[in-house]
Amino acid sequence: MSYQQLTSHYRTISHLDNVLGLLHWDMATMMPKGSAQARSAEATTLKSICHGLKTKPDIEDWIDAAKGESLGDWDKANLREIEREYNQANALPTDLVAAMSDAISACEIAWLKARPANDFQSLCPYLERVFELVREQAHVLSDRSGLTQYDALLDLYEPGYSSAQLDTVFAELESFLPNLVGEIIEHQERMGPIVKPSGPFDIEIQKQLGRDLMDALGFNFDHGRLDVSAHPFCGGSPDDVRITTRYTADDFMQSIMGVIHETGHALYERGLPNSFRGQPVGRARSMGIHESQSLLMEMQACRSPEFVSYLAPRLRAAFGATGPGWSTGEMLRSYLEVRRGLIRVDADEATYPLHVILRYRLEKALLSGDLALADLPSAWNDGMRELVGIVPETDTNGCMQDIHWHMGSVGYFPTYTLGALNAAQLFEQAVTDIPSIPDEIGQGNFSGLVTWVRESVHQKGSLLSPNDLMVSATGRPLDPSVFKRHIKRRYLEQ
């Protein structure tokens, strides 16, 4: 049966993808620095073998034959995802892929130098080359799929999503969020300055706290690890999920919430349907759904008053600390502080979407050519003034802060905000279905919430499109008004 040849072939591919996941994890956590060059050559070899398997010409024949075979719903969806993956792997001509890889390497190196030096001009030709090739990529993908060029890129990260949908959703956010942020900041200022615990905070204690929270959230250490890396991530594979965080003795709040965020990603990977392990339909659905799972844990569940009332006494006990910054009320204020900041990755949940909308506008304009790269810094600053109400003094903290464009990722930024909106909607639905969830979370008990997301999201793998998954889980498509309600309630009404 051709379908079986396909599943066997994609199981092999998934094994190699998992090995690549492990190589990447090792590189970021364990590898001695002198081994980078050798490791990079090894990973390139493995990737090229993997690419060979993904573009094997037999696949097309197997797909055609499998379409005539009698398949159940999951297998049909698997066939659809296989075809999608095959088309993506085959879409780009080899010389474009190679040119892209070279241009990205050069641009990343240039970015690593130019960013700290606040030297956008020296970066410009490298980034220009990357965008040139991204345009070519978008052109090819668009020709194959019939999608617009931007949508063809977006589809790589959020299948079935369109910029028309994004325009609607983001317009809605823009209509209330800038003003709402202003109101929240005023509201928080009226309550006086936030007193924060002061360090140093023992790193071993932070590690143990992180592990205890992972336990509470249901992370299975028989199938995963927690380690340290410069940039936190969730990697490995569904049967061996490896998350990382970073510690600083000045601040424990970052590592604690970082661990919870990555644990949300990890629970998703681990909860994917076991019977479709290694098959395209058994994978996580999209970046926007993945991010919803981390933000559901970090933002929705663990910055709630209920959870902070569980967490605060445990933090006091762990660090043996007392004083005004350690009261439950004050810790909640710390965890919910809203600021007009320059840096996306440091942004709170209220301002974060505004950073994303800026990038979405700019990357669309850069892709279409409506915005010249030389004009990016001023366009960035104008957008920051309008959306966030603050202007960076340097491009270092402005248009050069993120790595995404320099590595050719265009169409990725929106998925962060889709994740936040999905998370709000999923959490609201979970609490509607199981009203005891907030109280349970207040006791450090996540089993109700985790069971709900496992059934409603994790176990679905890639059976449904992101849109249909939201309908299946919450009864309706993505609705930004839930996020609005969440922000207003949490920041103005509590």
Active site residues: 262
463, 163, 466: which is closest to 291 by C-alpha? 466
Among the residue ranges 35-43, 98-106, 249-257, 320-328, the one whose residues contact a copy of itself (CB under 8 A)? 35-43
> Toward a copy of itself, which CB reaches closer, 221 or 346?
221
Q: Which range touches a copy of itself (CB under 8 A), out of 10-18, 195-203, 353-361, 444-452? A: 10-18
Q: Of 225 and 404, which has the nearer Cβ to a copy of itself?
A: 225
Query: Tokens 């970046």, residue?
Result: 287
Distance CA 28, CA 43 (A): 13
Task: Please say which residue, 55 or 118, places its beta carbon nearer to a copy of itself.
Answer: 55
Establish if 12 lies at the interface with a copy of itself (CB under 8 A): yes
In DSSP notation, 132-148 reads HHHHHHHHHHHHHH---
Cβ distance 241 to 31 under 8 Å?
Answer: no
Chain positions 255 to 294 lying near a copy of itself, rule: CB under 8 A, are 277
Closest to a copy of itself by CB, 9 or 361:
9
Number of residues interacting with a copy of itself: please give it, by CB under 8 A.
32
User: Which of 60, 119, 136, 240: binder of a copy of itself (CB under 8 A)?
Assistant: 240
Residue appearing with tokens 């620095």: 33
Q: Using CB under 8 A, which of 2, 16, 71, 194 touches a copy of itself?
A: 16
Compute, in degrees rounded to 10, the torsion defined by CA atoms 222, 224, 228, 232: -150
| Binding span for a copy of itself by CB under 8 A among 26-34, 127-135, 336-344, 407-415 | 26-34
Q: Can you read off the two tokens belonging to residue 458?
A: 């994790």
- Residue choice 1, 4, 15, 249 for contact with a copy of itself (CB under 8 A): 15
Q: With CB under 8 A as the contact rule, which of the stretches 16-24, 200-208, 421-429, 433-441 interacts with a copy of itself?
A: 16-24
Does position 98 bind a copy of itself by CB under 8 A?
no
Residue 452 CB coordination number (10 Å): 19
Q: In the bound complex, what is the minimum distance in angstroms from residue 160's beta carbon to a copy of itself? A: 30
Please identify which residue in 2, 9, 22, 321 interacts with a copy of itself, judged by CB under 8 A: 22
Residues with Cβ within 8 Å of 298's Cβ and at least 6 positions away in sequence, in order, are 257, 260, 261, 264
Task: Out of 2, 5, 24, 26, point to the residue binding a copy of itself (CB under 8 A).
Answer: 26
Contact code string over 408-447 relative to a copy of itself, x by CB under 8 A = ----------------------------------------
Residue 208 CA to residue 215 CA, distance in Å, equals 11
CA–CA separation, 366 and 373 (whole Å): 7
Cα–Cα distance measured from residue 50 to residue 199, given in angstroms and rounded to the nearest whole number: 47
Q: Out of 2, 5, 9, 18, point to the residue binding a copy of itself (CB under 8 A).
A: 18
The residue (of 36 and 492) whose beta carbon lies closer to a copy of itself is 36
Is residue 423 within 8 A of residue 295, CB to CB? The reply is yes
Verify binding: residue 4, a copy of itself, rule CB under 8 A: no
228: contact with a copy of itself by CB under 8 A: no
262's enclosing H/E stretch is helix 253-271
Residue span binding a copy of itself (CB under 8 A) among the ranges 43-51, 76-84, 257-265, 396-404: 43-51
User: What is the DSSP secondary-structure string of 302-338?
Assistant: TTSHHHHHHHHHHHHHHHT--SGGGSHHHHHHHHT--
* Span 196-225, contacts to a copy of itself by CB under 8 A: 220-225
d(CA 443, CA 200): 28
Taking CB under 8 A as the rule, does residue 31 contact a copy of itself?
yes
Which amino acid appears at position 399 of this protein?
C
Characterise 321 by phi-psi region: left (phi > 0), alpha (psi -120 to 50), beta (else): beta
Least Cβ distance, residue 278 to a copy of itself (angstroms): 9
Among residues 50, 28, 19, which one has the least CA distance to residue 262? 28
Nearest by Cα to 154 from 481, 411, 479: 411
Residues of this chain that bind a copy of itself (CB under 8 A): 12, 15-16, 18-19, 22-23, 26, 30-35, 37-39, 41-42, 45-46, 49, 220-225, 237, 239-240, 277
